[in-house]
């Protein structure tokens, strides 16, 4: 195309905003009165030069010239260019989408451009338009549905489309004939497929491949193998891939190809050919063979690929449950895989986990196994996914506290604080908020932000033990003594392990502060309670007469403290090491 002609064509195709120009009548009304395109005369081809000339001299009345050019482009299978012309027409007149003729042309162009979902939407009758089936519309819907592998839906269009298909001749009919034959093959009507294909040209290798598959369905293996061989030798890359798949299927049917060898060949085929119905068929067959062989990893990989990248409506009923069963075999309690490997699989295939309560129970049960094994970080990541994508509303309250707890245990207190802040909600119950605040206070204390931690605990009921525990860990002796005084038990004949810990810690803090008088008072008050106890010697060491070796005495006392903690379940969080990144 010369530069001058290109400029003329660009000006001719440019939107003229017809609705806004005086003296230019809308073309939609005119087009609505014309017959709907159908059959042999639907898409008359005109020379490009003639179309360009008509556009160049059309002036303000370009829509008829554009319509003629768009129909010609569709007749030449130039769908992408036709879309451009039709879009220009629609920009000038939005009402054109209310005209059935325009919608059919637009749907046909989209089908030729392999934009099948958009094509199917365009090929629906216009709102308020003629609801009677149009043979031309059915023919293009048949092609679009066949390309999307919606073969059962496409089959319902065959009877309606037949008049439009039969009205065509030669090359114009062949794409529709192949679509009908493919629908017949995929829906198990091999004899009908052969009848449809009987009139196709011998050099039509796409039709030859369909004929091979139909012959194989009828048990004519020799004829099928001969036809497949022809396509493998002479076809393009896509046809050769389809022929290779047909050869594998024939080998499995006749028993000349072992399942394990077939799986290897299917894997090679799927690796080299991606993204269309051929890969989908190959992976479907590979999934079936892997399930039959009890190869759960391979079945899971193939099934997950089919669910993720292909239309799930084309899968058999119960297919997703079958894939989920493969995952359960890999991560369930009966699995022989190492727990870290199972955790990696669950994370990689987390989108395969059942929805709702069933999936949540599976995740929580597996997280419990990870926690029991000390794999806190993996458990935190897994439950964080559940928190973000599978849990909503107030149910996030307890789960967020649990995830934050695991983050602290895995040495990531900063992540715990961030998570608790980003998941805050106004509808959490007071008990939920209290649990979250306790974990947040511990995380802040591990980050050295002790005053912030204590400020949070000031709003939490019954938080005195945790407040004292944080101060004890930070060795803030004066603050600890003030906080711990409210926790001191009444003097009794016998103190339990937790009470002994509280008293002994109080004594250590007093000794650190040099408050000997208070130590004497403590000895008088609790001396009887430590009689006969293992920790009695430590108590007497702390509260007895001072000697020159005071520092050594305190070291021995700290080493001999009972392991019982006043904060019980929260103690492991306070003892968890904080990593540099946490």
Q: What is the model's pTM?
A: 0.73
- Is residue 530 included in any domain, yes or no? yes
- Is residue 555 included in any domain, yes or no? yes
Domain count, the chain: 1
- Is residue 505 included in any domain, yes or no? yes
Measure the CA dihedral 557/563/566/567, to 10°. 130
- Is residue 514 included in any domain, yes or no? yes
Cβ atoms < 10 Å from Cβ of 461: 9
Cβ atoms < 10 Å from Cβ of 431: 11
SS (H, E, C) 329-372: HHHCCCCCCCHHHHHHHHHHCHHHCCCHHHHHHHHHHHHHHHHH
Which 3 state secondary structure label does DSSP give 314? helix
Query: C-alpha 195: how far from its chain's center?
Result: 43
Cβ atoms < 10 Å from Cβ of 258: 11
What is the DSSP annotation of 52-108? Answer: HHHHHT-TT--HHHHHHHHHHHHHTT-HHHHHHHHHHHHHH-GGGGGSHHHHHHHHH
- Is residue 108 included in any domain, yes or no? no
- Is residue 287 included in any domain, yes or no? no
Helical spans, DSSP H, in 390-457: 396-409, 413-422, 430-446, 450-457
- Is residue 188 included in any domain, yes or no? no
What tokens does 38 get? 């159908």
- Is residue 175 included in any domain, yes or no? no
Full domain range(s) for residue 568: 476-574
Pairwise CA distance, residues 203 & 234, whole Å: 10
Cβ atoms < 10 Å from Cβ of 417: 24
- Residues in the chain, pLDDT under 70: 1-25, 127-132, 493, 545-554, 557, 559-560, 579-582
Look up residue 125 and give its DSSP letter: P
Look up residue 171 and give its DSSP letter: G
Pairwise CA distance, residues 347 & 341, whole Å: 10
What is the DSSP annotation of 509-556? Answer: HHHHHT-HHHHHHHHHHHTGGGTT-TTHHHHHHHHS---S-HHHHHHH
């Amino acid at each position: 195309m010369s530069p001058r002609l290109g400029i003329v064509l660009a000006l001719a195709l440019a939107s003229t905003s017809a609705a806004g120009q005086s003296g230019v009548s809308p073309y939609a009304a005119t087009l609505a009165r014309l017959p709907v395109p159908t059959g042999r005369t639907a898409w008359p081809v005109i020379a490009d030069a003639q179309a360009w000339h008509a556009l160049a001299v059309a002036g303000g009345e370009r829509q008829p010239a554009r319509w003629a050019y768009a129909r010609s482009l569709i007749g030449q299978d130039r769908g992408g260019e036709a879309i451009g012309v039709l879009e220009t027409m629609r920009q000038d007149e939005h009402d054109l989408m209310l005209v059935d003729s325009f919608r059919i042309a637009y749907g046909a162009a989209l089908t030729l451009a392999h934009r099948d979902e958009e094509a199917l939407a365009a090929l629906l009758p216009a709102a308020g338009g003629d609801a009677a089936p149009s043979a031309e519309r059915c023919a293009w819907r048949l092609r679009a549905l066949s390309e999307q592998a919606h073969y059962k839906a496409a089959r319902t269009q065959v009877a309606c489309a037949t008049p439009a298909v039969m009205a065509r001749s030669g090359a114009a009919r062949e794409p529709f004939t192949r679509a009908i034959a493919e629908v017949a093959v995929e829906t198990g009507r091999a004899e009908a497929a052969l009848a449809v294909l009987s009139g196709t040209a011998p050099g039509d290798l796409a039709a030859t491949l369909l004929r091979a598959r139909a012959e194989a369905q009828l048990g004519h293996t020799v004829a099928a193998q001969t036809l497949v061989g022809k396509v493998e030798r002479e076809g393009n890359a896509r046809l050769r891939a389809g022929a290779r798949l047909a050869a594998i299927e024939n080998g499995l049917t006749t028993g000349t190809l072992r399942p394990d060898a077939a799986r290897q060949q299917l894997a090679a085929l799927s690796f080299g050919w991606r993204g269309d119905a051929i890969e989908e068929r190959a992976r479907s067959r590979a999934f079936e063979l892997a399930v039959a062989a009890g190869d759960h990893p391979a079945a899971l990989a193939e099934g997950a690929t089919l669910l993720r990248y292909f239309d799930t409506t084309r899968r058999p009923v119960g297919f997703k449950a079958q894939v989920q069963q493969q995952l359960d075999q890999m991560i369930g309690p009966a699995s022989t895989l190492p727990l870290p490997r199972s955790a990696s699989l669950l994370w990689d295939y987390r989108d395969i986990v059942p929805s709702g309560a069933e999936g949540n129970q599976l995740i929580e049960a597996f997280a419990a196994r990870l926690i029991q094994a000390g794999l806190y970080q993996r458990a935190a990541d897994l439950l964080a996914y559940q928190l973000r994508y599978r849990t909503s509303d107030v149910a996030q309250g307890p789960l967020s506290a649990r995830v934050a707890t695991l983050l602290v245990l895995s040495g990531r207190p900063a992540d715990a604080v961030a998570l608790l802040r980003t998941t805050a909600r106004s509808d959490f119950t007071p008990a939920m908020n209290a649990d979250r605040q306790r974990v947040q206070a511990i995380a802040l204390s591990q980050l050295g932000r002790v005053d912030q931690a204590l400020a949070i605990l000031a709003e939490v009921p019954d938080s005195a033990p945790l407040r004292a525990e944080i101060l004890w860990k930070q060795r803030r002796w004066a603050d600890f003594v003030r906080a711990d005084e409210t926790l001191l038990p009444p003097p009794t004949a016998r103190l339990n392990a937790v009470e002994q810990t509280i008293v002994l810690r109080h004594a250590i803090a007093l000794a650190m502060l040099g408050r000997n008088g208070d130590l004497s008072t403590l000895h008088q008050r609790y001396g009887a309670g430590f009689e006969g106890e293992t920790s009695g010697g430590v108590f007497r060491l702390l509260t007895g007469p001072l000697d020159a070796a005071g520092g050594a005495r305190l070291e021995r006392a700290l080493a001999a403290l009972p392991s019982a903690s006043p904060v019980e379940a929260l103690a492991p969080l306070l003892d968890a090491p904080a990593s540099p990144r946490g």
